[in-house]
Chains A and B, each alone.
Chain A
Amino acid sequence: MQDSEIKQAIISIIGDIAPDEDTSNLKPDVRLREQIDLDSMDFLDIVMELRKQYGVNVPDTDYMQLATLDSCVNYLRPKMQGKTLKV
């Protein structure tokens, strides 16, 4: 999966979790928490959706890697290799 697709996968998951939020203009290098209303329960959901949709496992010690869209892409790049985007 390309970097742009990984980003799209994350944005799509956030859109599912928080349907009231506008996810169209998220800045890639700013913490997601600062841009939209996400708490630790929501990060749990992001992780669970990654597992459900892509079979990707994110141990809880790695949660901080999901802080920004850029860091998500960097962290998930090896794990998402060869997977197909589901949006």
Chain B
Amino acid sequence: MKYDAIIIGAGMSGLAAGIRLAMFDKRVVVLEKHYVWGGLNSFYQFKGRQFDVGLHAMTNYIPRGAKGRPLTRLLKQLRLRHEDLDLHEQNYSLISFPSAKLRFTNDFSVLRDEVRREFPAQRDAFDNLTRAIADFNELDLSAPRQSAREVVRRFVTEPLLEDMLFCPLTFYGSAIEHDMDWDQFVVMWKSIYMEGFARPTKGVRHVLTLLTNRYRELGGELRLRAGVKRIVSRTGEAVGVELENSEVLEADCVLSSAGFVESMKLLEPTASAVGCMPMRTGNPTADAVGLNGHIGRLSFTESISVLNPGAMPTDATIIFFSNRDRFEYRCPDELVDVDSGVICMPQNFRLDEPIAPMVRVTNIANHAKWCALRRDDGVDSSVNVPADWGQGLGARDQGSGSNPQSPIPNPLGNDAYTAAKQACYERSINAITPRHLADFRPQVSMIDMFTPRTIEHYTGHLGGAVYGSPVKRRTGETPVKNLYVMGTDQGFLGIIGAALSGISMANKWVLQRDGVLTERDA
């Protein structure tokens, strides 16, 4: 059987694209190399507790009935009701720098008032910037690329305010060091400052259950542990994939959420040598360095502390912090930069039922440094931790039959990698407490941590680059016909953004092109 479309990756974009295609009776299969769906936004169980891999909050929150926003577009395209998402709003979030603090909520006027209080001289600048953002059409994909830093500096002349405004937006979605594309900045500004944060009580699991159920109800096929060994192409045209188990699947179209470089690497060597290299992106810097320039440099560690019931080191939902007034969003020279980051307290959303309190700290980390550390498998596997975890791009990366639901290396191990995790966890917590929230260390009941190696393994993104390539491909097109990228490397981020990316790529490259509207029935 030949599929209308093969989708690589059962993350948010892959599942959303799958739903769209199954909805209109396309023959579609979603291939996921792991045992479990979700990709960058997956979940796992560790010591009997449920954890989300990536999710702090869903952005783009709007109440039911608000019109023309990304969330409403997503709901309609997937035929979901607002209440299906079980969204609960944040208390408030904080941008916390040594010399100033800005609070924001899902009501934009709170941020505006805070800026006026902390930066009275910048009030007009902020209002003008706000207006420029409101007037900019971020959906116009033909707009020329501009540096967001440069645009913002035309309005905001106080560097501290500039850095504070950038801090949450870069942490939640910039694949570019110390900057963003202006259109991406506008997308993030609207989704975080003007719309806002919310969360389902059960976290990302809830969203994924909703999507996988909808996909299956519509008759879509989802294959887990179905890693793609290569994308099969003939004369510069993708015609299917070969799986790790050597099974070949044919299709008219391949939609890949594996990332742009990652997808190119899945093409047969001949195809890439003849037709695809060097990649032309239109970006001179990226073109000069070839594919390597497409690999993102921003990866992260996530230090998770589960606290005793009732512990409340802060009532803030999310704190974006920098311990230096000049905020640096760059790959650090050392393992991790603990002096800036994001602190998330998922229990501080306005949930209907209490969840176990925890503190999640995200710090920028150096993938290469983490990969250079020796990791002793014997130690880890003896305590029910899968041997295939955190191995970078090694041969065993595709899984070796161990349980992916408890993917976190043993914190008691004695190899260099595990020791570095322990040290970085300590440093990460020391850097935030009591500066940004009350010292919670006496109340910690359980610790978990993951690193760029974990992320690379889980997402397949080279370099553990959470936000993918710094060079986005807005139309999804690649040098190979019928192969399209979606998700992170198409340029839309976050749960809502990634799902919308999958939807728009499925609409554009399968449903619309496929003669749903024209030739077939004409």
Contacts and interface: CB of A to CB of B under 8 A. Distances in A.
Interface of A: 16-20, 37, 39, 41-42, 44-45, 47-48, 51-52, 55, 57-60
Contact of B65 (A20, A44, A47, A60): A20
A53 B512 CA distance: 18
A18 B67 CA distance: 11
Interface of B: 24-25, 64-65, 67-68, 72-73, 75-77, 79-82, 503-504, 507, 511-512, 516-518, 521-522
Given A57-B517, A60-B517, 19 more contacts: A16-B79, A17-B76, A18-B75, A20-B72, A20-B75, A20-B81, A37-B76, A41-B76, A41-B504, A42-B76, A44-B507, A44-B512, A44-B517, A47-B517, A48-B516, A55-B521, A59-B517, A59-B522, A60-B518
Nearest to A36: B67
Contacts, number: 55
A26 to B, nearest CB: 16
B65, B67, B76 pick with most chain A CB within 10 angstroms: B76
The 9 closest A-B pairs by CB, nearest first: A57-B521, A37-B67, A19-B81, A18-B76, A60-B517, A20-B82, A48-B24, A20-B81, A17-B76
SS of A interface (majority): helix
**Is the contact region of chain B dominated by helix, strand, or loop, or is it mixed?**
loop
B66 to A, nearest CB: 9
Contacts of A57: 517-518, 521-522
B75 A44 contact: no
Nearest to A19: B81
Contacts of A41: 73, 76-77, 503-504, 507
B521 A51 contact: yes
A37 B511 contact: no
B187 to A, nearest CB: 17
Contacts of B518: 57, 59-60
A20 B24 CA distance: 21
Nearest to B66: A37
B311 to A, nearest CB: 37
Nearest to B24: A48
Contacts of A59: 517-518, 522
A48 B510 CA distance: 13
Contacts of B76: 17-18, 37, 41-42, 45
Given A51-B521, A59-B522, A39 B68 contact: yes
Contacts of A51: 516, 521
